[in-house]
Structure 1
Amino acid sequence: MASNVEIKARARNFSRQLALAARFLAETPEILHQEDTFFVVPHGRLKLRKFSPQRGQLIYYERTDQSGPKRSDYRIVPTSEPDSLRDVLASSLGVLGTVRKTRTVFVHENVRLHFDSVEGLGDFLEIEVVLSRDSGVREGEALVRQWMERLNIRPEDLIEGAYLDLLLQKRTSSA
């Protein structure tokens, strides 16, 4: 499985933080519309990410739910039939929920910066440092912390878990 070190944070000032990333990287980001359907599994998380009717990814990952930099081990399988695959997985496993977002992505070397506008939740940032055979978790954590500083992400901005967890908490508290 591939691995990365990552954080997720509430955006303190989304447009300013997006401008900072653009300035540091001097690259044009990619804008993606994503629909993530999470399925019931005994451990880890399994989601189907749909980009379009003909393009998606089945993503399995394991990570601890903590607010600081954390290692995530993952496997991604592309699919050209995300709707059919979702139907099969929903019937066989059950659906936990769905997250819809617009993601602005910057990629620089082994760093991915995600600026997410999540339906029903608001604006967030993710920093992911892809680990290689030559780089360990400590190096990944150090790089995540450098980007946190560059983008003015404070420890109190960090969140645990996935967007789905936040949506489910929101639903539970409003019921």
Structure 2
Amino acid sequence: MREELEVKIRVDDPGRVVRAIENMGGRLTSSVVEEDVYLAHPCRDFASTDEALRMRRSDGVAELTYKGPRAMDYRGAKSRIEVTVPVGDPEAAIELLRYLGFAPVATVRKRRSYYRTDSAIISVDSISGLGDFVEVEAIDPGLGVQGLQSIVRELGLEWRPVEETYLEMILRKGGADL
């Protein structure tokens, strides 16, 4: 279990952001295509409790992640508890979860490039049906919101956090895409 501190910003020119990351010493660690299937709990409304259960598939690897309720900073940064476990057979795991009453509600597909700096992991995302975003996640939550703001400025971006998750944006657009 870990707590993450991150901010998401919508971007118009991901290439410019990548150049800024490289100029600040960031290095590309991986580029992947991720498919996230979100599941509804049989007895709890995750939308109202602000939780999520996600099966992620990427490059032949799968993991199941529980995301606890978000704590939003008044400046727009988000922190939340995450618990992730590797899954050897994602189809069987989803079948098991269905028998327990969980149901897939939406799929989020994205191309994501991960960059690492001394203080943050920066993801440049292209989300099917939504557009381009940058997520800046503190490696050490002690970096704080001011540290995230500093990195966002260094990337040449305005501090305009997107508080919705990709799942919430997809559902708002009416696109479950299962």
Residue range with higher mean Cα deviation, 79-88 or 32-41: 79-88
TM-score normalised by L of structure 1: 0.84
Structure-2 residue corresponding to 1:151: 155
Label 1:90 to 1:11 Cα distance change in 2 as closer, same or farther (>3 A).
Answer: farther
For 1:58, which of 54, 64, 73 is the aligned residue? 64
Contact 1:4–1:140 (CA under 8 A) maintained in structure 2: no
SS of aligned partner of 2:28? coil
For 1:84, which of 68, 87, 92 is the aligned residue? 92
Structure-2 residue corresponding to 1:170: 173
When the two chains are superposed, the root-mean-square deviation of aligned CA atoms in Å is: 2.1
Contact 1:121–1:167 (CA under 8 A) maintained in structure 2: yes
* Whole-angstrom distance in 2 between the partners of 1:115 and 1:155: 16
* Offset from partner CA, 1:88-120 (integer Å, 9 cap, x none): 324521112000001000123451100001111
Structure-1 residue corresponding to 2:53: 46
**1:94-109 counterparts in 2 under 5 A?**
94-109=103-118
Give 2:151's aligned amino acid.
W
Structure-1 residue corresponding to 2:30: 30
Gaps of 5+ in 1: none
Task: Indicate the percent of aligned positions where both proteins have the same amino acid.
Answer: 24
* Offset from partner CA, 1:135-156 (integer Å, 9 cap, x none): 3xxx321221111111122233
Give 2:147's aligned amino acid.
L
Structure with the higher helix share, 1 or 2: 1
* Whole-angstrom distance in 1 between the partners of 2:31 and 2:148: 22
SS of aligned partner of 2:174? helix
Structure-1 residue corresponding to 2:163: 160
Gaps of 5+ in 2: none
Tell me if 1:2 matches 2:2: yes
* Whole-angstrom distance in 1 between the partners of 2:93 and 2:59: 13
Label 1:169 to 1:145 Cα distance change in 2 as closer, same or farther (>3 A).
Answer: same
* Whole-angstrom distance in 1 between the partners of 2:130 and 2:116: 24
Structure-2 residue corresponding to 1:74: 82
- How many equivalent residue pairs? 165
Return the offset for 1:57.
1.0
Return the offset for 1:7.
0.7
TM-score normalised by L of structure 2: 0.83
